[in-house]
Amino acid sequence: MVRRRLASKPLAEVREMMRSTFPRPNRKIRIPVAGAAGRVTAGPVYSSLTVPATDIAARDGFAVVSSETPGADDRGPVPLPNPRRVNTGNAIPPGYDAVVMIEDVTGRDGAWSTGKAVLPGEWIHPAGTEIRQGELILPAGHPIRPCDIGALLTYGITDLDVRDVTVGLIPTGSELVPAGGRPGPGEVIESNTAVAAVLLGEAGVTCTRYGIVHDDPEQLRQAIRRGIRENDLLLVSAGSSAGTRDFTAGVIGDLGKVLVHGIAMKPGEPAIVGRIDGKPVVGLPGYPIAALTAVRELALPLLAEWGFCPRPAERLRARLAGTIAADPGYDEFVLLAVSRAGDRYVATPLPRGARTQMAAVRASAYLHIPAGTGSIRDGTEVEVLLTGPRWMIGESPESREPAPGCRVREREAASPLKDGS
């Protein structure tokens, strides 16, 4: 069989098409507040309580009637007729309107005096200072943070409505073995959907991983029908290229419509975007790094349009340690090993291609080279996106002094980088 050539469309054009074609699903679920971090509020959330419920002390000291303290100073303390001992946060007894701090009080039980006059309301937090019943806590569309959990619980909210989007993940390929199995010759353990589920889960969506589907068009058709019925977005891993066992595009076309097959990005060019029953279907390339790129650059931007955003990657400026050969007709995503050298960062391009997963493990950042840019020379300062926290970036070997008694072994010069698909 002759391999069909994919007609690749610009990445920006594909993203815009997805944004305009697939509106956000309008569905919500009610969940406990304690497990709501990372989700998005489906509507405004209002306080059930007034906090504090009554006037409370803002300092340790004595609750007093302020009109009984005028004229008090260090040279002429004023006796307090009936002070009430309070600690910070204690309710102010009825009839009292101020607090004298403990350090401004002298005497002993039954004979207290103050050397400082206080005004009405001094060192008191009035009722409702934080929030009043019925007041807004969070607006609709708010990504819920850990600090929001504490406020919600404090203000009497134990469960709330959040936006909900479900994503189905279908792994395909007769060569796949479930995690925990032992692959034989020509077999490989399935991991792409596990990676995708983590990436998408960080955006606050609900993911379902289905069982492995063998290279059989009818089995794939049944799996995709189920996945579309049960989810708002469906990702099909592998089978997206143009080989003799790549059935994903054909099945999507039978059940709906293939909108794009081939995107001008590296890695990830064979990716598919389709529509079935009005819902988006994304066909991922089988190679792990290409699949990861397609999830990050296609599925996550669509979810962001729907209001589900993972924490953005940290960015920093780094100087390239090597020339990157790039095709100006493609958006390219290049994995980098970033290290600190003195007061600057150095980014070393890793071997290109979509096959090896160890390149992703060794990488601490990646560089997006937009279409139309072309190659980037050694020594150029670029903005990179970190794949983990900044503290994971260590100093480069060149910037460190060898420890006493240690020998530094010279390394051979790196071979020129080869462009990969």
Angle of helix 248-255 relative to helix 217-230, nearest 10 degrees?
Answer: 60
**Residues 320-363: tens digit of each pLDDT:** 999 999 999 999 999 999 999 888 999 999 987 655 788 889 99
376: which strand partners? 324
Give the pairing type, strands 159-163 and 28-32: antiparallel
Question: How does residue 72 score in pLDDT terms, banded at 50, 70 and 90?
Answer: confident
Residue 356 pLDDT = 74
CA 157 to chain centre: 24
Question: How does residue 242 score in pLDDT terms, banded at 50, 70 and 90?
Answer: low
**Residues 79-102: tens digit of each pLDDT:** 999 999 999 999 999 999 999 999
Residue 189 pLDDT = 93
User: Running DSSP on this structure, what letter comes out for residue 95?
Assistant: T
Q: Is the pLDDT of residue 292 over 80?
A: yes
For residue 411, give the 3-state DSSP assignment: coil
Average pLDDT over residues 388-399: 72
Residue 261 pLDDT = 95
Burial class of residue 101 (count of CB atoms within 10 Å of its CB; 0-12, 13-18, 19+): middle
In 3D, which of 302, 96, 276, 123 has the Cα closest to residue 199? 302
Query: Higher pLDDT residue, 394 or 402?
Result: 394
Q: Is the pLDDT of residue 161 over 70?
A: yes
Give the pairing type, strands 45-46 and 136-138: antiparallel
In Å, how far are 57, 142, 144, 157, 187 from 150, measured between CA atoms?
A: 22, 15, 11, 10, 48
Residue 392 pLDDT = 84
Residue 164 pLDDT = 94
Q: Is the pLDDT of residue 110 over 90?
A: no
User: Running DSSP on this structure, what letter comes out for residue 414?
Assistant: P
| Contact between residue 321 and residue 346 where contact means Cβ atoms under 8 Å apart | yes
Listed range (134-143, 208-217, 397-406, 411-420) with the worst mean pLDDT: 411-420
Which residues lie below 8 Å from residue 153, measured CB to CB, with a gap of 6+? 33, 34
Which residues lie below 8 Å from residue 75, measured CB to CB, with a gap of 6+? none
Q: Is the pLDDT of residue 169 over 80?
A: yes
| Contact between residue 221 and residue 254 where contact means Cβ atoms under 8 Å apart | yes
Residue 8 pLDDT = 86
Strands (E) located in 192-327? 206-209, 233-237, 257-261, 263-266, 272-276, 279-284, 315-320
Listed range (114-118, 329-333, 377-381, 415-419) with the worst mean pLDDT: 415-419
Average pLDDT over residues 163-178: 95
What's the distance, Cα to Cα, between the start and end of the chain in Å?
22
Question: How does residue 418 score in pLDDT terms, banded at 50, 70 and 90?
Answer: very low
Question: How does residue 374 score in pLDDT terms, banded at 50, 70 and 90?
Answer: very high
Query: Higher pLDDT residue, 359 or 58?
Result: 58
Residue 249 pLDDT = 92
Record the tokens describing residue 1, joined without a space.
């069989």
Residue 351 pLDDT = 84
CA 284 to chain centre: 21
| Contact between residue 213 and residue 175 where contact means Cβ atoms under 8 Å apart | no
Give the pairing type, strands 233-237 and 279-284: parallel
Mean pLDDT taken over the chain: 89
Q: Is the pLDDT of residue 134 over 70?
A: yes
Question: How does residue 391 score in pLDDT terms, banded at 50, 70 and 90?
Answer: confident
| Contact between residue 260 and residue 7 where contact means Cβ atoms under 8 Å apart | no
User: Cα separation of 171 and 113, whole Å?
Assistant: 78
Q: What is the pTM of this model?
A: 0.79
Q: Is the pLDDT of residue 1 over 80?
A: no
In Å, how far are 51, 193, 301, 338 from 199, measured between CA atoms?
A: 38, 10, 12, 22
In Å, how far are 76, 135, 151 from 48, measured between CA atoms?
A: 47, 8, 11
Give the pairing type, strands 111-114 and 78-79: antiparallel
**Backbone phi, psi, residue 248, to 5°:** -60, -50
In 3D, which of 124, 51, 49, 130 has the Cα closest to residue 93? 124
Neighbours of 245 (CB within 10 A): 15
Query: Higher pLDDT residue, 7 or 8?
Result: 8
Listed range (5-14, 44-53, 262-271) with the worst mean pLDDT: 5-14
Burial class of residue 120 (count of CB atoms within 10 Å of its CB; 0-12, 13-18, 19+): exposed
**Residues 14-29: tens digit of each pLDDT:** 999 999 999 999 999 9
Q: Is the pLDDT of residue 419 over 50?
A: no
**Backbone phi, psi, residue 4, to 5°:** -80, 145
User: Cα separation of 66 and 87, whole Å?
Assistant: 18
Residue 383 pLDDT = 96
